Every structure is written in structure tokens, then in C-alpha cells.
Structure 1
Amino acid sequence: MLRRFLPSHESIKQHRLLQWLGPRLHDPCLWHLNRRTVAKAVAIGAFFGLMIPVAQIPAAVIASLVLRANLWLAAVSTLISNPFTYAPLYYVAYRLGAGILGRPASGATADAPVIDSFAQWLTHAWQWLGGVGQPLLLGMALMAVTGAVVAYYLAEGLWRYHVLRKRRARVQRRIARHPAG
């Protein structure tokens, strides 16, 4: 069902903006679904989906090119974070980071400062990084790494479960066709 909405492999390989990738796009691991490429793609997508708030899909695609994971699944897996999940994810990330750094989780700051120059913006950004930013970034990094590891093993485990279930069903059909006795 999903394939009708996605461009074909050939159209992607022939696209003029992607010609610079050359033979890298012809790697079969980028397009086939198997246990390893799926597990790597889901882990990549979970990592970038939880780690960075912008350009998640391009980052996941680049990582899947380098690590030879399924491109589509890496891109789709980044959608673990979306406009509906940003607030809870960032809240949990901040609380996690603040807990690890031993800082009390503070409330929001009162008023946004008026920034007239780049130097003032840089000073404000540095103060933010020292206050809310450090716990948030630490929490996001920990959640991204943990999410990637969990996603990898969960995808691999679900793949194995599916294969074993199909194998058992095949054996059961064989037994039903040729009963012993």
C-alpha cells in the first residue's frame, strides 16, 4: 500500500540532484528489507528523531547511506518525534538531564529579554545553555542513544518472532497434511 506513494528506486537513482551519490545509491542494502537493514534503519531513525529537532530525515538518510541501512525506514522512523510528541519528549529529556546533573528542575523563566545585537543574543544563548540547555541536551542525548539501542533490539526481536511464527505455521501445516500413524 505504501509503495504507491513512494518514488521508485529507479526514479531516485536517476534524479539529477542525487547523481553526486553515484554508485552509493545502487547498494541493495539501502532498499531491501531484511533483519539487519530494518533493525539498523529503525535505530537510526529513533536516534535522530529523539536527538535533533530539525533536519531529522536528511540526517537519518545520510546515516543510513553510511551504515547501509534501509533508507525509507530510517526516514520514517524519525517521525517518533512530531509536533504532538515534542513537548512530552523535551519535558522528559529536561527532567532526565536535570536529575543526572543534580540540578532541581526549574520552572520557565519570566520574560524573554529584548535582544538588540548578535553579542546580546550570544550572551543570552550562553546563559540559556548554562540553565535549561545543558540538562535538555544531556537528556536528549541519553534518550536518543537509549531509544536507538531499544529500537534496534526490538526490531530485530520482532523480525525473529515473525520468522519463527511463520516457520511454526509451516510445520503445523505439514503435520496436518501428513499425520503420523
Structure 2
Amino acid sequence: MPKPETLQNHKHLQMFGKWLHKPNLWALNRRSAPAAFAVGLFVAWIPMPFQMVLAAALAIIFNCNIPIAVALVWITNPFTMPFMFYAAYLLGAKLLNHPTQDFAFEANWQWVEASISTIGPPFLLGCLVLGTIFAIVGFFLIKTLWKYSILFKWIKRKN
């Protein structure tokens, strides 16, 4: 993990100022790690630029580990993004009972404006639902793994 000083001095995180000095934001413990996984996995599904800044802000609000929350948003990267966001669109269309439409993504603002009314609602709903599911599963998975690692350490120590 990067040192707290490195992230506290990062140009995009300096806007958080004194809030970055809370010790739990940098600690790796049974409370901060599961919450950080939930924050990071939720934000990874939000289709927006500067996800890392949002993950850091939510980590501050929920008082969880910033490095884990920020690192997890990189699940959404140029290789995984098309698959993740297409799955979100398909789920949203199914939930809204919209027929799926064939579309070809174009990286320009005109395409975004033209598509926001047609594929936007199912896509955004799918992102919200999948982000929530991944956050909940990630939270309880890390919480359970943490609990079992402590249990196994106690058993090993006892023997």
C-alpha cells in the first residue's frame, strides 16, 4: 500500500485537506477493509471520469481505508469496461422491460447526447444495481474472510 503521506500530497486528493488525517482512513483493520471494498466496488460501476476522487470522498465519509477503495475502482479499466457496462445495460433493460437495442459506441459528446435518452436509463439502472450488489457481496466476503483468518490464527496459536 502507498504511504499515507504520498496520497495526502497527491494533487487530486489535496482538496480533502485535513480530512485525510484520520487514522482509520489509512489503517487496515476489520472495520475499514470491508467498508473500503464496498465503496471501491460500488464506485467501479459508476460510469464517470475521476472515479478515484469519488472513491476517496466516499471512503472519507464512511471512514474506511482510502488506498483500498481507490485501488478497487481500477477494476473498471479500458479492458473490462466494455464488458461490465454492456452487462449493466442488459440488466437495466431487463429490469425496465425495455427491448435491447444494437448500438455502436462512439467516443464523442454528440453520441452521448443522442444515446442518453435511449440506452441511458437502462444502462444507469444496471450500473446502480450491479454496483450495489458488488458492494454488498464484497463487504460481506471481506468481513467473512477477515473473521476466518482471525479464527485460524487463534486455532493455530492454541495448537
3-state DSSP of counterpart to 2:103 = coil
Residues 35-50 of structure 1 mapped to structure 2, 5 A cutoff: 35-50=30-45
Residues 1:67 and 2:62 aligned together: yes
Q: Deviation of residue 27 (structure 1)?
A: 1.1
For the residues of structure 1 that align with 2:44 and 2:15, how far apart are their CA atoms?
A: 27
Correspondence for 1:176 = none
Question: TM-score scaled by structure 2?
Answer: 0.86
The alignment of Structure 1 onto Structure 2 pairs a total of residues equal to 156
Report if the CA contact (8 A) 1:51-1:143 is conserved.
no
Matches of 1:107 and 1:152, distance apart in 2: 35
Q: Which runs of no fewer than 5 residues in structure 1 stay unpaired?
A: 173-181
Query: What secondary structure sits across from 1:130 in the alignment?
Result: coil
Which structure 2 residues correspond to residues 24-173 of structure 1 after superposition, within 5 A?
A: 24-108=19-103, 121=110, 125=113, 127-172=114-159
AA aligned opposite 2:99: P
Q: Which residue does the alignment assign to 1:178?
A: none
Tell me by how many angstroms 1:78 deviates: 1.1
Among all aligned residue pairs of Structure 1 and Structure 2, give the percentage whose two residues are the same amino acid. 29
Gaps spanning 5+ residues in structure 2: where?
none
Aligned mates of 1:80, 1:27 — CA distance in 2 = 26
Contact 1:97 1:137 (8 Å CA) reproduced: yes
Deviation at 1:31, TM superposition (A): 1.0
Q: Which whole-Å deviations, capped at 9, do the CAs of 1:20-55 have from their partners, x for residues lacking one?
A: 622x22211111111110011111000101113421
Q: Which runs of 4+ in 1 moved over 2 A?
A: 8-13, 15-20
Distance 2:124 2:16 in 1: 34
Q: Are 1:41 and 1:74, in contact at CA under 8 Å, matched by a contact in 2?
A: yes
The CA RMSD measured in Å over matched residues stands at: 2.6
Shift of 1:131: 1.2
